Amino acid sequence: MSLEASARLSSSAFLTACRGERPDHVPVWFMRQAGRSLPEYLKIREGTNMLDSCFQTEMVVEITLQPVRRHQVDAAIFFSDIVVPLKAIGVDLDIVPGTGPVVAEPIRSAAQLDQLRDLESDDVASVLAAVSALTDELGPTPLIGFAGAPFTLASYLVEGGPSKDHRRTKQLMYSDPELWHALLGRMARIAGQFLRLQVEAGASAVQLFDSWAGTLSRADYLTYVQPHSAAVLDSVADLGVPRIHFGVGTGEILGAMSDAGADVVGVDWRVPLDEAVRRLGPDAIVQGNLDPTTLFAPTEVVHARAAEIIAQGAAARGHIFNLGHGVLPATDPDTLTRLVDFVHQQPVPARS
């Protein structure tokens, strides 16, 4: 990348806000913006299962670019899945439509940890080729790499798939802390290696998803999870890219998630942004947090709620507009396009 192109990328609204500086407009991107809400995505995915698509370089590039072209968002999120690095090192799992990740042999003993080896670049060569190609294609638009956080990855491995109560996960956590920390230590290394490889291939920022951390009390999060999430975020600290940390239902542990080493804290829709900043401190940089279901309301309601969130974000040192979770599959893509236009038209508020 030329010096001029690098400067344009660095001065993008998204990266400017991630640094806590004042951008020329409120940046916006959406979790799951590259996915089932787009007809062009459904078309290109016909006949290809989810995990296979994540390893096909040209498909990954095209799917990642689709929402940037359509919505004019301020950042691209790399099309992948949190279990991709586990699949890449040989864990027997699949993403079952309508269910989610399903693991053939759930973790029940220390002996099973041997399969969780370090991730090497050759394991994800086609993935990294997509990152490099996207960096060229996107130009001044930043690319966000991502990985699943240790707790969420471990939960899938222990439960064998998605769980409503995470009973087996917490049972292992409480009954065998030694095995638990050994498992999360391996998850942290793999997630950190995956993030690092993406940044080295060209990603401009990373997001660590802890989808299920909201099932934990603050005390349990601090004892059993935070050190491992901190290890992931620390593993890319020297690369100088913004590190976003996001979880669902994590209002009670926002401060602890930030203390794990996040530069930007993603906030779901349950906590108003100004309240999130109060919990995090005035120097916080936040991302969020429109309820995804709001997108099914009339346009004037969607935009009124967006305006409220932008105003609340003024309490923070920096704010990136996003949803409070991912785009729902039934969302009308035109609603997202109109929302991006609306957010871009709003003046960047002075800090409150």
Q: Is 81 annotated as catalytic? A: yes
Q: Has 24 been annotated as catalytic?
A: no
In sign, the C-alpha dihedral spanning 108, 114, 115, 116 is positive
Pick the catalytic residue from 19, 45, 305, 338.
45
36 is catalytic: yes
Active site residue 351: no
Of the residues 81, 176, 234, 259, which is catalytic? 81
Strand 93-96, strand 100-103: pairing: antiparallel
- Which position among 156, 189, 210, 317 bears the catalytic label? 156
Cβ-proximal residues to 238 (8 Å cutoff; 6+ apart), any chain: none
In the set 8, 19, 36, 117, the catalytic residue is: 36
Question: Is-catalytic flag, 32?
Answer: yes
Catalytic residues, by residue number, are 32, 36, 45, 81, 156
